[in-house]
């Protein structure tokens, strides 16, 4: 989709759908005297940022509904008194939401004769050079979000660890990001037994994807992003029930988000050092699978008592977090579709975040609110550690009394074991765990295509952009 800018509607050629935003409207498209208009109802006095996201997306979805190819609106029509953001922030927001709403995963669909219903061009009136720059920046951000969605939406048969690794290279082609992919032999040499154990049940080889972008000065603060890259989660020997298997091709959504955040950071030439780490496996049930009761000595030396092979995300992240420390990072953020329990707690409206650091939590909440990648903090107190103490190993990968209560917090406190206990004399990194399972897919009413959401690329990107 193209975004262009014009001074007046007089310059428009061809069939165009005009947008009119007003409280007196009802949502409809009308053709009057040969002119097509999309009326959007919007009560200015009740507007807020969250509603603005929905409004912009509704505009695109309705236009697609009437097979419009060109859409035109006035920038000022989307400025509301109640919404206290600058016109540049608004520009970026508009730019990103237009593309976000125009996306659909059609790779496996046969087009009809008329083709797919995508908007081809959006013309915005009443902008200035700075606003235009902001809108185009939003457009670039959304492009990476949509590429994240495409990777996540890809069926498990076509998205294996080695394909994900290729996709990581492809995502940063011609960008100054170094991608190194470790195979199983290399992981063995590094003692990444936690990752290797989970991947063992699959015919597909596991991979450890390393993406390095040094936009800052050498030795300057580094941020490490870790993304869960389970390309299909069958549950393993603790096989999931049928109803829970569908959608588990998207269990690499944390990984795809990290891949495209790195691409975005490099595209925008941020002066930051950012590393992306994606442990990638397929969690399958076979004669070679890791078993309930197995005890794995992870790369850190900590042993993991596997009580449930379906809690595999935290097991592979254990080695990735250990590896992350090698960069002596200031901040580590991990992103994972880790627990159904996070969705039980929050519904599908926000990702769950866990951190010891109040300041970091606050920052993530604020950026979440301003980007639409909403997050909500859940507890990860030390007390939770009691329920993951192992009987034969150091820590169990699920609650040691087999309770389902507080599942998201137990996932987080397990990961925390691999963050704390840094070597002496080295400052512990700030760390937050982002459980995106609740926001893996779009909900009805969000004015977005069904399937993967591409969260939290915008949150991660803005977080890095705001580092001083
Ligand atoms: N990938 C799943 C979590 C998940 C569920 C993500 C639904 C997105 C939607 C994860 O590996 C898993 O299976 N977690 C278990 C943990 C349990 C065994 C403690 C879960 O949530 O049931
Ligand atoms: Zn699982
Ligand atoms: Zn999983």
User: For 31-48, how does the pLDDT look when each residue is reduced to its tens digit (9 = 90+)?
Assistant: 988 889 999 999 999 999
Please identify, by atom number, the ligand 1 atom nearest to the C-alpha of residue 251. 1
Mean per-residue pLDDT, 178-199: 98
User: From CA 98, how far away is CA 135, in angstroms rounded?
Assistant: 10
Ligand 3 geometric centre to CA of 411 (Å)? 11
- Residue 424 predicted with pLDDT over 60: no
Ranges 32-41, 148-157, 317-326: which has the least confidence: 32-41
Ligand 2 geometric centre to CA of 223 (Å)? 27
Token pair belonging to 350: 């926000």
pLDDT at 351: 99
Q: What is the number of the ligand closest to the CA of 338?
A: 1
Which position among 69, 133, 169, 240 bears the catalytic label?
240
**The sheet that has 303-305: what strands, in order across it?**
295-297, 303-305, 395-396
Token pair belonging to 162: 């080695």
Q: Among 281, 310, 347, which is best to mutate for testing ligand 1, by the most ligand atoms less than 8 A from CB? A: 310
Catalytic residue status for 314:
yes
Who lines ligand 1 at CB under 6 A?
233, 251, 308, 310-313, 337-341, 398, 407, 437, 440
Comparing 428 with 418, which gets the higher pLDDT?
A: 418
SS3 readout for the chain: CEEEEECCHHHCCCCCEEEEEECCCCCEEEEECCEEEEEEECCHHHCCHHHHHHHHHHHHHHHHHCCCCEEEEEHHHHCCCCCCCCHHHHHHHHHHHHHHHHCCCCCCCCCCCCCCCCCCEEEEECCCHHHHHHHHHHHHHHHHHHHHHHHHHCCHHHCCHHHHHHHHHHHCCCCCCEEEEECHHHHHHCCCHHHHHHHCCCCCCCEEEEEEEECCCCCCCEEEEEECEEEEECCCCCCCCHHHHCCHHHHHHHHHHHHHHHHHHHHCCCCCEEEEEEEEEEECCCCCCCCCCCEEECCCCCEEECCCCCCCHHHHHHHHHHHHHHHCCCEEEEEECCCHHHHHHHCCCCEEEEECCHHHHHHHHHHHHHHCCCEEECCCCHHHHHHHECCCCCEECCCCCCCCCCHHHHHHHHHHCCCCCCCCCCCCCEEEEEECHHHCECCCCCCCCCCECCCCHHHHHHHHHCCC
Q: Among 251, 292, 413, which is best to mutate for testing ligand 1, by the most ligand atoms less than 8 A from CB? A: 251
Q: What is the number of the ligand closest to the CA of 406?
A: 1
Mean per-residue pLDDT, 11-30: 90
Mean per-residue pLDDT, 126-151: 98
* pLDDT single digits (tens) 96-125: 999 999 999 999 999 999 899 999 999 999
Q: Among 437, 440, 451, which is best to mutate for testing ligand 1, by the most ligand atoms less than 8 A from CB? A: 437
Which position among 58, 193, 314, 462 bears the catalytic label?
314
- Residue 222 predicted with pLDDT over 90: yes
Give the chain's mean pLDDT: 96
Ligand 1 geometric centre to CA of 436 (Å)? 11
Please identify, by atom number, the ligand 1 atom nearest to the C-alpha of residue 312. 11
Question: Cis omega before residue 292 (within 30°)?
Answer: no
pLDDT at 301: 97
Ligand 2 geometric centre to CA of 234 (Å)? 7
Ligand 2 geometric centre to CA of 403 (Å)? 16
pLDDT at 205: 98
The predicted model scores a pTM of 0.98
pLDDT at 207: 99
Ligand 3 geometric centre to CA of 238 (Å)? 12
Please identify, by atom number, the ligand 1 atom nearest to the C-alpha of residue 399. 19
Catalytic residue status for 404:
no
């Amino acid at each position: 989709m193209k975004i262009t800018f014009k001074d007046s509607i007089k310059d428009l050629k061809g069939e165009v759908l005009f947008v009119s935003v007003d409280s007196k409207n009802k949502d409809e498209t009308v053709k009057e005297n040969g002119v097509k208009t999309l009326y959007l109802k919007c009560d200015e006095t009740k507007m807020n940022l969250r509603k603005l996201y929905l409004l912009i997306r509704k505009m695109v979805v309705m236009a697609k509904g009437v097979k419009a190819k060109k859409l035109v609106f006035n920038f000022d029509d989307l400025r509301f008194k109640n919404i206290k953001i600058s016109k540049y922030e608004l520009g970026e927001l508009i730019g990103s939401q237009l593309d976000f709403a125009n996306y659909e995963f059609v790779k496996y669909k046969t087009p009809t004769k008329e083709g797919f219903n995508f908007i081809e061009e959006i013309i915005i009136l009443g902008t200035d050079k700075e606003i235009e720059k902001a809108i185009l920046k939003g457009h670039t951000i959304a492009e990476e979000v949509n590429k994240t969605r495409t990777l996540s939406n890809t069926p498990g048969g076509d998205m294996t660890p080695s394909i994900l690794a290729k996709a990581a290279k492809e995502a940063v082609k011609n960008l100054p990001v170094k991608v190194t992919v470790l195979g199983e032999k290399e992981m063995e040499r590094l003692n990444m037994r936690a990752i290797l154990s989970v991947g063992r049940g699959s015919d597909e080889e596991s991979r450890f994807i390393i993406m390095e972008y040094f936009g800052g000065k050498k030795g300057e603060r580094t941020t490490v992003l870790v993304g869960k890259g389970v390309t299909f989660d069958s549950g393993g020997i603790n096989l999931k029930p049928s109803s829970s298997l569908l959608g588990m091709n998207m269990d690499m959504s944390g990984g795809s988000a990290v891949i495209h955040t790195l691409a975005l950071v490099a595209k925008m030439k941020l002066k930051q050092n950012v590393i992306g780490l994606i442990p990638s496996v397929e969690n399958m049930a076979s004669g070679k699978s890791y078993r309930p009761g197995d005890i794995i000595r992870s790369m850190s030396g900590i042993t993991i008592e596997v009580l449930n092979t379906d809690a595999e995300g935290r097991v592979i992240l254990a080695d990735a977090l250990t590896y992350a420390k090698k960069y002596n990072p200031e901040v580590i953020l991990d992103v994972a579709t880790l627990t159904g329990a996070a969705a039980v707690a929050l519904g599908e409206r926000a990702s769950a975040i866990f951190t010891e650091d109040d300041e970091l939590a606050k920052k993530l909440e604020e950026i979440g609110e301003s980007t639409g990648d909403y997050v909500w903090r859940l507890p990860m107190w030390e007390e939770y550690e009691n329920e993951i103490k192992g009987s034969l190993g150091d820590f169990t990968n699920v609650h040691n009394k087999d309770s389902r209560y507080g599942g998201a917090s137990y996932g987080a406190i397990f990961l925390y074991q691999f963050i704390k206990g840094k070597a002496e004399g080295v400052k512990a990194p700030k760390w937050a765990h982002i459980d995106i399972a609740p926001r893996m897919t779009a909900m009805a009413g969000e004015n977005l295509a069904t399937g993967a959401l591409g969260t939290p690329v915008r949150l991660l990107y803005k977080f890095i952009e705001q580092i001083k």
